[in-house]
Amino acid sequence: MLTLYGQELRSRLLLGTARYPSPAALEDAVRSSATEIVTVSLRRETAGGRQGGAFFDLIRSLGVHVLPNTAGCHSVAEAVLTAKMAREVFGTNWIKLEVIGHQDTLQPDVFGLVEAARILCAEGFEVFPYTTDDLVVGEHLVEAGCKVLMPWCAPIGSAMGPQNIPALRAMRAHFPDMPLIVDAGIGRPSHATTVMELGFDAVLLNTAVAGATKPALMASAFARAIDAGRDAFEAGMLEPRDFAVPSTPVIGKAVFA
């Protein structure tokens, strides 16, 4: 069982709600993934418009926890205000905190991230920070009050999969009791299995599912891959060896010559 800010969860898959071909495709993907947390955002409503209402109704009908984000924010002030507005709309203290530092790579501005996390934690938010795999940044986020860390494993939407496995392994070892969620860069189920085998607690996906030819089927594939990786981590895996080891017992083998 995964516990995030006191909330117990059976699923270790967090699912984004963007880039699906239709609202029905999003709904199907959420249901087939069995996710219990979806991410959402806030954007300007058009005058006289009702755009947000239909989406809000769809999200509420799914019966899952909502994790609003501060995607697109490039400053501490923007991220903090967006978080406060998200709490007003969604009625949750959870916030996926993004402070973007680079336009092309969407790499987090980790200095702004720590500053924004400190402000929001002090105001009662439960912060899920989108960060890098840097241990020192992670320590500062924990000191700021974060009780979850969400490192990237590759740039957002890149589908490249884990680019620095030793760094992810070090992060797991450095924060043994902290829920760690890989937030970005996963492209295929085997990537998710890999990070779960390293001992990460969960995976947050969006583009890898929404961009698939059959999003609902891919959501299901990811759910099973994540569970397989988690089971493997808990079961205890063999370390690779440089030599062969016979699996069939040698003692008692017949001698024919």
Partner 1 sequence: MKLTVNGEDHDLTVTTLAELLAALDFEGDWLATAVNGELVHRADRSAHSLSDRDRIEILSPMKGG
Active-site residue set: 96
44 lines the binding site for partner 1 (CB under 8 A): yes
DSSP code, position 155: S
- Per CB under 8 A, 45 contacts partner 1: yes
Q: How far is the CB of 44 from partner 1 (least distance, A)?
A: 4
Question: Among 28-36, 81-89, 141-149, 169-177, which window interacts with partner 1 (CB under 8 A)?
Answer: 81-89
Instruction: Provide the 10 A C-beta neighbour count for residue 246.
Output: 7
The answer to whether the Cα torsion of 10, 70, 171, 104 is positive or negative is positive
Cβ proximity to partner 1: between 16 and 138 the closer is 16
6, 48, 236, 252: which one binds partner 1 (CB under 8 A): 48
By CB under 8 A, tell whether 108 contacts partner 1.
no
Angle between helices 135-144 and 165-174 (to 10 degrees): 40
The Cα 190–Cα 232 span in angstroms is: 13
Per rule CB under 8 A, is residue 52 in the interface with partner 1?
A: yes
Residue closer to partner 1, measured from CB, 89 or 173: 89
**Binding-site string for partner 1 from residue 136 to residue 175, where x marks contact by CB under 8 A and - marks none:** --------------------xx------------------
Contact of 159 with 187, CB cutoff 8 Å: yes
Cβ atoms of residues 14 and 205 within 8 Å: yes
**135-144 helix and 110-122 helix, angle to the nearest 10 degrees:** 20
CA dihedral over 93, 186, 216, 1, signed as positive or negative: negative
Sole binder of partner 1 in the list 3, 7, 53, 173 (CB under 8 A): 53
Cα 218 to Cα 223: distance, rounded to the nearest angstrom: 9
User: Is residue 41 at the binding interface for partner 1, with CB under 8 A as the rule?
Assistant: yes
105 makes contact with partner 1 (CB under 8 A):
no
How far is 242 from 146, CA to CA, in rounded Å? Answer: 41
Q: Closer CB to partner 1, residue 32 or residue 82?
A: 82
Residues that bind partner 1 (CB under 8 A): 16-20, 26, 39-53, 55-56, 59, 68-69, 71, 77, 81-82, 84-86, 88-90, 156-157, 206-207
